[in-house]
Every structure is written in C-alpha cells, then in structure tokens.
Amino acid sequence: MIADRQLPLSVEALVESVRRECANSKVIVIQAGHFLLHYDEERQRLVPSVETTMISAEHEKVRLEFAGFPFLTWKLACRLFKALPTVSSYMSVLVNDWQYVPSGLERKNFYAEFSRLPTTYLDEIRAIRDGNVMFLTPNGPADFSTSQPYFSERKLRNQYDRRIEKLIKTNALPEGIELNIGKDGTTCRVSDVMGVKREVYHSSKDADCSNEVAEYIEQVCRLVSCDTIINLYPAICKEFVEPGSELPTRLFRTPISRIINLALPSTGIANERDLLDGAEMAIHRF
C-alpha cells in the first residue's frame, strides 16, 4: 500500500528522500528514459521520441512536446544511482509502443532499426558506471550496449493477459480475487485499499496501463530478485501506475518490498526545473 507521499521541491531533496528509503535495499531496479514512438509520415517509419532522433524540421513540434522527458529522467536516474547504497543495481527502459503505432509491422521494424539505447543514454551512464550497475532487459541482466534492450508495453499487456488466463485455467487465482464468467466474457475484480472493486482483467478487453505495470514489476522481480523498484514515469499515467503497482503482490504473490513511483511532468520539458514542477513521489511498502 502507499505508505507515504512527498512533493520534492528540488533534485537534491528528491535524491535524499530516495536514498533514505532505499537504505536497506539489497537489489534495486530503476525504470527511466521512458519514451513513446512517433510515426514519421514522410519516411513511413516509427522513431523514438528522444531528442537525438527528433532532428528534422517536421519533428520540431513533437520534439518540443515530448522529447525532453526521456533523457532528463534517464539523467535523474543516474544521479539517483550515485546516491544509492552500494548494492546490485539495474536500469531499464519501458517503451510506449502501442499508442501511436499504425500496425504491428511498424512496431517490429522499429525494434529492428533501433536495437540499442540512444547514444545520449550511453554517454550519461558512463559517468557513473561501475561493477554494481547493470542494464536489465526482458531477457535478464546485460551490458548497456546490448541489443534489443527495451521492455515493450504492448508485449507486457499481452503477457499479463496470458498470465491471468493461466491462473484462471488452473484454478490458481489468489484468495480475494472475484472471478465472474458470463456471456460478455470472463472478468476478475479485486478490492482496493478503500474497499472499491476494481476490474483487473476482462477477456473481451485489451489490458490497460495498470496491467502492464503489474506485469513489468512481476517480470523484473523474477529476473533479478529485486526488493526495490524506482519508477520515473509520466504524471499523466498516475491513475494507472499507482493501482497497477499494488496488483503484483495481490495477483502473483510477487516478492517486492517497496516501489517508489516518481510522477513527473512529461510534456514541454526542457530542464530539471520543468521536470520537478508538480512532481509527486508515492512510496509503496509491502
């Protein structure tokens, strides 16, 4: 559950709060550098909405709106790592590859063409790199220069649905999960901390952002046995990220101790001051 909320007024205050919360952490995973995909009509291809790829005139509007957030969150994550205890630490990147994607073919072509982290990410991580910091991919720990480094939101949604379907099929849903099978499909609902029933699965609907967050947490915990996750995400997604962070322990018995969700402004961001204007930190403890 959410044990604490804070409104960090400076990068220094944010870093210090995270450092204190992670004092006893053993394995930490930070999700940062998150970006969405933009469809380039002229070249008929998907490109990541990061500044190093938003260089042509037709990209100017998208660059000013979206391209600042990814690198600034990656840079902030690097500052966090410098302050964290000397433990096993990993960084990972989630990609929004469903919202503005015309078809699955374009998505496949994107991952083939942009198969490595942006050069700006690699340059920034070199300043803090040591034996305790690694990169985390869907296949496990890897070097930062690895190919196919990203967690796909589209794939996470599909994997979440399959995981729930398996629990239903094997009659392995945890106690307290309400299962309903009707003519409109199969649903699962769970009570939140206020006692309100929340739908967490519908066989006739696509999984949503809260579901992909739950699947991401489950996967990284199983990959590296982490006890702490720090998620730097767009504040516009708060209504999905926070409840989604509560689901893994309820649905999958995920062995996580704490999740620190940093909701940060994601549009029109040019510097750290913009990034912290309205930022909110929610600390989930389990």
Q: Are 210 and 240 in contact (CB under 8 A)?
A: yes
Q: Full-prediction pTM beyond 0.85? A: yes
Sign of CA dihedral 21, 22, 24, 27: positive
Q: Are 120 and 167 in contact (CB under 8 A)?
A: no
Give the lowest-confidence range in 61-65, 115-119, 277-281: 61-65
Would you state the pLDDT for residue 132? 65
- pLDDT confidence of 130, banded at 50, 70, 90? low
Pick the closest to residue 4 from 216, 277, 192, 282 (CA basis): 282
CA 142 – CA 147 distance, rounded (Å): 9
Would you state the pLDDT for residue 70? 95
Residue type, 183: K
* Coil, strand or helix at 247: helix
Would you state the pLDDT for residue 131? 53
**Main-chain phi, psi angles of 131, to 5 degrees:** -70, -15
* Coil, strand or helix at 179: strand
Average pLDDT, the chain: 92
Instruction: Show the tokens assigned to 120.
Output: 């700006």
- Mean predicted confidence (pLDDT) in 183-202: 91
Of the two residues 47 and 153, the one the predictor is more confident about is 153
49-78 pLDDT, tens per residue? 988 877 777 777 777 788 899 999 999 999
Q: Are 25 and 87 in contact (CB under 8 A)?
A: yes
Euclidean distance between the first and final Cα of the chain, in Å? 6
